[in-house]
Amino acid sequence: MKRSKRERQQLLVETIKENPFITDEDLAEDFSVSVQTIRLDRLELSIPELRERIKSVAEKTFEDEVRALPIEEVIGEIIDIELDSSAISIFDVKAEHVFVRNQIARGHHLFAQANSLAVAVINDELALTAKAAIQFTRPVKVKERVIAKARVTNIDPENARTLVEVNSYVNSELVFQGEFEMYRSKK
């Protein structure tokens, strides 16, 4: 269905308000227009690009919740967090994150996303990685989006330790898994 520019832009504002994490490509497909048309509409309406929208939502939502490190030190963008329970972050793999010769992401970026999410989920001023057991299950390529999901599996206040399991996915395919033993201050 062909919409007028005004109708499309109004619907664009409503759609992004409902889902600030929607991509320009998905919007273009939904509205049956080119990605360039969506970008021009966003520019005209002063709607920031996806990365800025994610960052803005994350900072507003989680800056008061994350205690163990400043939100800007988390690798990837936190999109959901419940302290001492679970957290989710998004990391878009770009050219600067990959080996030039094969376009595969350097492992330390995936580890950093998972490790910083394991730190962020701890409800304490102090959270340090004491031990980590990790496994990369498939290479991640440039332009892929990695969704890391952290889940606290055990809190041992007597020994000041918390176990955090982190699984990272591209689409629904597991690409990284880790178990992090986190040190936290004794309470």
Say if residue 94 is in the same domain as residue 31. no
The domain of 68 spans 62-184
Say if residue 110 is in the same domain as residue 85. yes
Task: Give 40's contacts (C-beta < 8 A, 6+ positions apart).
Answer: none
The answer to the question of residue 54 being in a domain is no
Task: Give 77's contacts (C-beta < 8 A, 6+ positions apart).
Answer: 51, 54, 55, 58, 89, 90, 91
| Residue 48 backbone dihedrals phi, psi, to 5 degrees | -70, 165
Say if residue 34 is in the same domain as residue 70. no
End-to-end CA separation in angstroms for the chain: 61
Q: What is the per-residue pLDDT for 149?
A: 96
Say if residue 15 is in the same domain as residue 92. no
- The pTM for the full model equals 0.66
Please state, in angstroms and rounded to a whole number, the distance separating the CA atoms of residues 50 and 61: 16
Q: What CATH number should be reported for the domain holding residue 39?
A: 1.10.10.10
Say if residue 113 is in the same domain as residue 140. yes
| Residue 117 CB coordination number (10 Å) | 27
| DSSP codes, 22-59 | --HHHHHHHHTS-HHHHHHHHHHTTPPPHHHHHHHHHH
Q: In what order do the strands lie in the sheet with 173-184?
A: 77-82, 86-92, 145-156, 161-170, 173-184, 127-136
Q: What is the per-residue pLDDT for 34?
A: 92
Q: What is the per-residue pLDDT for 58?
A: 56
Please state, in angstroms and rounded to a whole number, the distance separating the CA atoms of residues 153 and 158: 16
Q: What is the per-residue pLDDT for 52?
A: 73
Say if residue 80 is in the same domain as residue 163. yes
Q: What is the per-residue pLDDT for 148?
A: 96
Say if residue 20 is in the same domain as residue 72. no
What is the number of structural domains in the chain?
A: 2
Q: What CATH number should be reported for the domain holding residue 121?
A: 3.10.129.10
The sign of the dihedral angle between the CA atoms of 22, 165, 75, 121 is positive
Say if residue 19 is in the same domain as residue 109. no
The answer to the question of residue 52 being in a domain is no
Q: What is the per-residue pLDDT for 119?
A: 92
Q: What is the per-residue pLDDT for 68?
A: 52
Please state, in angstroms and rounded to a whole number, the distance separating the CA atoms of residues 103 and 108: 15
What are the 10-residue block averages of pLDDT along the chain, 187 residues in total? 86 85 87 91 85 63 54 78 90 95 96 94 88 97 96 93 97 96 84
